[in-house]
A and B are shown apart, each in its own frame.
Chain A
Amino acid sequence: MSELLQLLVSGLSKGCVFGLIALGFVLIYKATEMLNFAQGELMMMGAFVAFTFVNLAAMPFLAGFAVTLVVALAFGMALERGVLRPMIGEPPFAVLMLTIGLGFVLRTVAVNIWGTDPRTLDVPYAGEVLVVREVVFGYDNLIVIGATAFLCGGLWLFFRRSRLGVAMQAASQNQLAAYYSGVPVKRVASLVWGISAAISAAAGMLLAPISLIDQNMGFIGIKAFAAAIVGGFGSLPGAIVGGLLIGVSEEFALRYLWPGFGEVTAFVILLVMLFVRPQGIFASLQKKKV
């Protein structure tokens, strides 16, 4: 029983990371109809930047976390402005290739700056555990779950309550009408990229204490993409739920199924989902209008 619980918690924390990256995919897709396959690399960059601030510059952990979020936000916005905006009106396939290329570039940049050795992020809670009735939970896992819940709550409030958040939703639902209403759609798109990059960076920082930081950690972006599809592409809660589903299944598969099976769990779930319910768990009602 205690083993099941521990697996569940570590699976959930892994799922949270998938979910956050998936959230990044969905946000960008909804706002700009672009698929950003460099999302995992944005996460990797976030982890490295946090590593620079916390380990190398010896900043307190929380301050390093905050500064990293700001840097990621700015980086995401700059990326949209400089690289993606000139691609408006180009075929979606070209944009897709561009983002895949962007992922390669970011990996190379990371290797050139931080080298190929895996790094660890110094966090005050590393290795600490919480024991409840002889069940052991790692603080790193619990903090991932807590921070994800906090981030999602913040995002929910932002999109439901704030003037800018509602305008962002409007721009994603009908770009031209938002333009006519005076919403600066281009700047909104930049901001969405910034937010998406910041969320991915947060995922990277949360994942860093659990796994190691290296230039290839971004490859879990593919699993996060599967999570976004399982959740119903275009749905924000779906992204998180899909992430959790895949994270937990993967954790249990790693423990109880044949070796090597854990790595493909995400894609097995994706395949099954595409057969059974291709629109995903939370199907977004909107049909694409041409």
Chain B
Amino acid sequence: MTEPEPLLTLRNIETYYGPIMAIRGVSLEVRERSIVTILGANGAGKTTVLKTICGAMDPQKGSVTFRGEDITGRDPDRVARLHLGHVPEGREVFPFLTAEENLAVGAFTRRRANLNEDLALVYGYFPALAEHRKLPAGFLSGGQQQMLAIGRALMLRPQLMLLDEPSLGLAPRLVAEIAEIVVRLNREQGMAILLVEQNARMALDVAHYGYVMEVGRIVMEDTCERLKNAPDIQEFYLGMKDQGVRGRRRWKQRKTWR
């Protein structure tokens, strides 16, 4: 009775920006049909982990395995071809192409695909995009651009979607909407999702399993249920300050990480 191979495995990844070590040995797993989240403050290296997975950055050490294939250091377009979607931080839509053309570019790798079917799927999840399909993406609102970016990745028919800060700069109502879409995509399309978030409350509500990153390493991992109840998480990520912990610094409690 062996467990099935995880969809995505990172083993001991180390990634540098020039001389600066951004990721200091990260290992993580994403199982099929699961939502996994990475929490962490600014500069913890969350985005770099995603960039390393999708091939925009090459790790110095370690390996990335997706669907049993070693994709370490492969160019991003070849990784995308394996049905790995990436929604980058800050939306990054193509501003002068219409919404529909943006989505069509998302289906670039799928030469034989039935474009209309895929478009219908995306418009089903994001009716607002159907309304503005002929509008240049630069004219869309922030929330619509975020939806467009997710829709564009959806056009790949991904087995795994990397979502980088989808709630960035959005109103709370939109954040809730995006969260709902994430859950629906996971449930209805059977899509695994690796969610990077600063909005820890939303991320922990949505995800099944969570990793916590600090300065380039993973300092904690557990199911989201248990993470939600961990005192450290409550204090530092959910803002529920307990009187008793006040004054005591986190790094004085833990001594296992340098």
Contact = CB atoms under 8 A, between A and B. Distances in A.
Contact of A169 (B76, B96, B155): B96
5 contacts: A163-B104, A169-B101, A176-B88, A180-B80, A285-B138
B137 to A, nearest CB: 9
Interface in B144-159: 149, 152-153, 155-156
Contacts of B77: 179, 182-185
Interface residues of B, number: 32
Given A169-B101, A181-B152, A285-B138, 8 more contacts: A166-B97, A167-B105, A177-B152, A178-B105, A179-B75, A180-B76, A180-B85, A181-B106
| Most A C-beta atoms less than 10 A away, residue of B102, B108, B156 | B108
Contact of A163 (B80, B108, B153): B108
Interface string A158-187: 000001001101100110111111111110
Given A180-B88, A286-B95, A166 B104 contact: yes
A176 B56 contact: yes
Given A182-B77, A182-B156, A286 B96 contact: yes
B81 A173 contact: no
Contacts of B75: 179, 184, 186
B199 interface: no
Interface in B115-149: 138, 149
Contact of B108 (A167, A174, A176, A286): A167
Contact of A180 (B86, B95, B97, B111): B86
B81 A182 contact: yes
B87 to A, nearest CB: 8
Interface in A126-174: 163, 166-167, 169-170, 173-174
Interface residues of A, number: 20
A180 B104 CA distance: 13
Contacts of B106: 181
A174 B76 contact: no
A179 B55 CA distance: 9
B128 to A, nearest CB: 20
B105 A183 contact: yes
B237 interface: no
A183 B108 contact: yes
A97 to B, nearest CB: 24
A181 B108 contact: yes
B88 A182 contact: no
B92 A181 contact: no
